[in-house]
Structure 1
Amino acid sequence: MTRYVLLFIENKWHSLNLDQPENFQEDHQFGNDGILITFQTPELLRHLKKIKRVRIIPKIVDLEGFEKQMGQEGKDLKSFKNWTMLAALKYHNIANHDFKLSSSTIRDFLGYMAVLYEYLLQKDNDEAKRFEDLEQKINHIIYRRQFLGVPINFSIAESVCTQLEKDIYRTKNILQLKYRIFNPDNEEWQKQYLLKKGYKLIKSTLFTFKSWRNEDDICLLVYEMIRNQKDLDSLLFMQSHWGSKANAYPKYLGFGTITSRITMREPSFQNLRKSNRKVVVADPFHKLLYIDYSQFEAGILASLSGDKRLIELYNTDIYEDLAKFVFNDGTKRSDAKVIFYRYMYGDTTLGSKELQYFKRFTGLQSFKEKIDLEMKNNLKVGTINANYRYRGEEDVSWGLSHVIQATASLIYKKALIRVFVELDRVKFLIPMHDGTVYQIANMWYDELKPKIERIYIEEFKRACPKIKGRVNIKDTFE
């Protein structure tokens, strides 16, 4: 199968035949075959949608996700934080640091992209096999949906935007008038505030504000402001950019994080607050089905660590037990879940009571020590199916988190593929971290619902045989 490296510039798709580098086209002629390698996947899918002779989406390799997988480096090892193709080429010493893309260097740029692809493909045999067996299949599923779009009720979206604008304005007023904070949406101010308060940055500024929102009124207000602004940005984007009167066309990235989580951008449906998810609707004569794993990461941690006490708690509710221990209130489950994630991320600012809770699990402590030792000896850690992450020279705290979240991604992706292959009447719409939004024709809904549930539970059991995984299913994304 012919492989082409593609670049959209100067209103044309330029291509280089990777197997015959002398074959350079300034205006690529698309067909139904070939492997297309690009970092401009959304633009490519839009273009393919316009071409009537292209009836089947060809194999597409998104170089951003591919570089993330094969490079196996988190942001802590990168010299560039915001991924761009040119930055990646310079980072891997393929393009000179003074190289600039222009009309006269298009062919050189395509050649550099080809070199990067070949270099990454040969870097790690385990990752290359994973890409072929798993990630390429996931890419096919998500690019089909990116091509077709996600059904949206734009009337509801407009109404939600109006309310979000009011909420953001109200929150900023409180921060300015009561706390004399006049630039709360400035990222540098946010980081400095957290640093000043002694709150360790865990995962992201948003997650850190969320972690401290119950103890700090300013953290609560900033958290609400950021969440609402992100939702507003997503909803405005889906209304103002390429789409239709009934669909939005987000960008899916199959290997969107170092743990291989599928991410969606512009708009980010995954991060919409539950109250704002009502903008997502089913096509006529269809119903939505939302399935997600119950206590996903906690269950994986229980099974992989083999901690008998943790396994027993999974059968009831680990987060509720944690809430009772820390807060003396089992209803504070969502707050307990944040503590659980902070523990996984290696947060050293956890209180004594929180740490006391986790020390009760001797099997868990041994498992964590084993991962830390593996990181020290091998300088990397991964799953039963590759998806490694390298560490630098400095001490790291994310080893346990990477193993658990990367395993979660593996389980989830295998379930996605099985549903796609075995149940062709089930239409994939939106991937979440631990769940999926599907749509199903009304006439098939009741028949297919238990089959989806069975597949998700079986894939959980395959990777985590020491627990009996559970799922939640609803007929609404809200």
Structure 2
Amino acid sequence: MRRLIIMRVESQWYSLNLDNFEEFNSDIFLMFRRTDQIITFQTSDLIRELYSKNHKTILPNIIDLESFDKQMAQEGKEFKEYKEWKAISFLRHHKVIDSGFDLNSKNFKLFLEYLATLYLSLLEKDNSEKNRFESVEIKVNNLIYERQKKGVRINTAIAEEKCVKIEKEIYRIKNIFQLQYGIFDPENEKQQRFYLDSKKYNVFESLLDAFKARRNEDIICKYFYELIRNKQDLESLLYTISRWGGAQRTYPIYVGFGTITSRIITREPSLQNLRKVNRDVIIPDPGMKLLYVDYSQFEAGILASLCNDDNMIKLYNSDIYKDLAIKVLQDENKRDEAKIIFYRYMYGDTTLSTKVRSYFAKFTELEKFRKEVESELTSNGKIGTINGNFRSSKEDAENIWSLSHKVQSTASLIYKNALIEVYNNFFLGVDFLIPMHDGTLYQINEIGYDEVQKQIEKIYLEEFKKICPKINPRIKSNELFQ
């Protein structure tokens, strides 16, 4: 097995052998074996070029440095002094180079040596992360990069129609902001954050999540949420009909370790974040049918199993979110709002009402478990799963996210194990298309569809049960992605 770190500069590729720095090549010919490990920060460029040279090419084991850094460094946003990941930022953050380093044609080899040395150092930093990297992440990379190479089929006519409608809706919402509320730049992130701060609303994972959490009690939060979601969908749909798409196909960028909890994310376009009403732009290849399979009450079931609270486990078998809606919101139809409350509790929102806090306090084992998780983070300086995916804490930070990370990183582990197991059992006739947080869009050969659907459902249930044996997991699946 060869281990090469590569980069492209002005249409020319350079490579360095990780096991022998003397093997430095410029103008390399991209011919790789299946067993090769290729480390790069230009994953999409590499896949696109390999595919353009030979549509049937077998991809090597590609390791994306951005994902690798996110996993191995075990650092959340609070550790980062930059917003956008770049190779130069990566080296500076880990103190391999200083601000005076300037990449030029004379030091390409040195630059790759720096990247290689840091890569090897992070690889040996934590044995549990290394084990996860080799047993889970590399396998997931093989799956997602194969799909990135093939792309996803779309209906461009529908995508174009939706772009027109969304543009009109964005214009309508901006008019409301300006005419009714005197907010003249609602798309500006500073303006959005200013509003949240003015109302003393907590911001957890993102501004969008903050607006989503408050959209049913604050009309301005609702309009901010609608504006951001529509803009995201418009951007995604425009990508689907851009030059990288066209011809009824789009080629998203797949990031295997896209968040600190190891969620797989898609970019340019972000198909996984399309609102349900816009997902019908995605269509199967000829002779195939779509299958969307997703876990029911995914995080709630994981939390119930981890904390081993009998009352919570019983509620999972009915519907935790519905119970929360009835007991706290006095309306069983407000299940979606209750789900948001559940996430706010899990993330440590200190602004939850007394009624909400009293609801969760009745789960005595849950309260004990939360304290145990917080204590573990304080004692060890990090929190993770039974198989890596740790997140480190800062001593001077609030670290209210400990329970959320425990649950969501466990969810990612279950989900990725299910992806790998389906791939291992159905190498042909079942194509992974789009990852969601708790579900997957596949396309399946029309012949034998029903039987394959049952087997995939079985795999998803088994993988959930392996890590969360205290519950009887449930899933939903159908042909519609909407």
- 1:441 Cα offset (Å): 1.2
Equivalent residues of 2:239, 2:245 under 8 A apart:
no
Matched, 1:416 2:419: yes
Per the alignment, residue 468 of structure 2 pairs with: 464
Give the alignment partner of residue 450 of structure 2, picking from 438, 446, 451.
446
Residue of structure 2 equivalent to 1:436:
440
Shift of 1:139: 0.3
Partner of 2:18: 18
Q: Is the 8 A contact 2:42 2:64 kept in 1?
A: yes
The percent identity for this pair of structures is: 53
1:176 and 1:23 mapped to 2: Cα distance?
61
In the aligned structure 1, how far is the partner of 2:216 from the partner of 2:440?
Answer: 30
Give the drift of 1:284.
1.2
* 1:476 CA drift (Å): 1.2
Q: Residue 21 of structure 1 aligns to a residue in which SS?
A: strand
Q: In the alignment, is residue 304 of structure 1 matched against residue 274 of structure 2? A: no
- Structure 1 stretches lacking a partner, 5+ long: none
Is structure 2 residue 296 aligned with structure 1 residue 283? Answer: no
Q: What one-letter code is carried by the residue in structure 2 that aligns with 1:464? A: C
1:316-395 paired onto structure 2 within 5 Å: 316-393=318-395, 394-395=397-398
Distance 1:57 1:127 in 2: 24
SS in 1 for 2:447: helix
Q: For 1:120-178, what per-residue CA distance to the aligned partner results, in whole angstroms no more than 9, with x for missing partners? A: 11111111111111110000000000010011111111011111001100000011011
Give the Cα–Cα distance (whole angstroms) in 1 for the partners of residues 314 and 453 of structure 2. Answer: 28
Q: What are the equivalent positions in structure 2 for 1:217-256 lying under 5 Å apart?
A: 217-256=219-258
User: Which amino acid in 1 is paired with 2:447?
Assistant: M
Q: Deviations over 1:170-210 (max 9, x none)?
A: 00001101111100010011111100111011211101011
Partner of 2:112: 110
- Code of the residue aligned with 1:415 in structure 2: it is A
Whole-Å separation in 2 of the counterparts to 1:82 and 1:75:
11
Q: 1:32 touches 1:54 (CA, 8 Å); kept in 2? A: no
Counterpart of 1:465 in 2: which secondary structure? coil
Query: What letter is aligned with 1:414?
Result: N
Q: Distance in 1 between matches of 2:37 and 2:383?
A: 31
The aligned runs of 1:149-160 (5 Å cut-off) are 149-160=151-162
Question: What residue number does 1:3 align with?
Answer: 3
AA partner of residue 144 (structure 1): E
CA distance in 2, matches of 1:57, 1:421: 17
1:45 alignment partner in structure 2: 47
CA distance in 1, matches of 2:238, 2:56: 31
**Cα contact 2:156–2:246 (8 A) shared by 1:** no
Deviation, 1:106, is 1.7
| 1:57 aligned counterpart, secondary structure | coil
Deviation at 1:54, TM superposition (A): 7.0
Aligned equivalents of 1:46, 1:19: Cα separation in 2: 27
Distance (whole Å) between structure 2 residues aligned to residue 148 and residue 155 of structure 1:
21
CA distance in 1, matches of 2:68, 2:114: 15
Shift of 1:368: 0.2
**Paired residue secondary structure (1:290):** strand
Q: Is residue 164 from structure 1 mapped to residue 170 from structure 2 by the alignment?
A: no
Shift of 1:383: 0.6
Q: Which amino acid aligns with 1:319?
A: Y
Deviation at 1:446, TM superposition (A): 1.1
2:405 is equivalent to residue 402 of structure 1: yes
1:31–1:53 CA contact under 8 A, matched in 2:
no
Per-residue deviation at 1:339?
A: 0.5
Report the equivalent of 1:261.
263
CA contact (8 A) 1:80 1:87 kept: yes
Runs of 4+ in 1 over 4 A off after TM superposition: none
Deviations 1:228-279 (A, max 9, x none): 0000011112211313412111110111111111111111011110001011
The answer to whether 1:426 aligns with 2:393 is no
Kept in 2: contact 1:89–1:95 (CA 8 A): yes
Residue 282 (structure 1) shift = 0.5
CA distance in 2 between partners of 1:367 and 1:81 (Å): 33
Query: Secondary structure of 2:245's match?
Result: coil
> C-alpha root-mean-square deviation of aligned residues, in Å?
1.1
Q: Which SS does the other structure have where 1:4 is aligned? A: strand
**1:178 counterpart SS class:** helix
Whether 1:125 and 2:120 are equivalent positions in the alignment is: no
Go from structure 1 to structure 2 and tell me whether the alpha carbon gap of 1:9 and 1:468 turns closer, same or farther (over 3 Å shift). Answer: same
Contact kept, 8 Å, 1:3 with 1:17, in 2: the verdict is: yes
Please list the CA deviations of residues 25-57 of structure 1 after superposition, one character each: whole Å capped at 9, or x if unmatched: 221112231211101101100010022397211
Q: 2:441 corresponds to which letter in structure 1?
A: V
Q: CA deviation at 1:285?
A: 1.6
Describe the SS at the equivalent of 1:81. Answer: coil
How many pairs are equivalent?
Answer: 478
Distance 1:53 1:420, change over 3 A: closer
Q: Spell out the pairing of 1:184-223 with structure 2 (5 A cutoff).
A: 184-223=186-225
Letter matched to residue 17 of structure 1: N
Letter in 2 for 1:439: Q
Letter in 1 for 2:193: K
Query: Which residue is equivalent to 2:142?
Result: 140
TM-score (norm 2): 0.98
Distance (Å, rounded) in 2 between the aligned partners of 1:380 and 1:50: 43
Q: Which digits, 9 at most, give the CA deviation of each residue in 1:75-102, with x for residues without a partner? A: 1122223211110101111122211222
Deviation per residue, 1:1-47 (Å, 9 max, x gap): 11111111111111112222122222111223121110110110001
Partners of 1:103 and 1:444 lie apart in 2 by 56
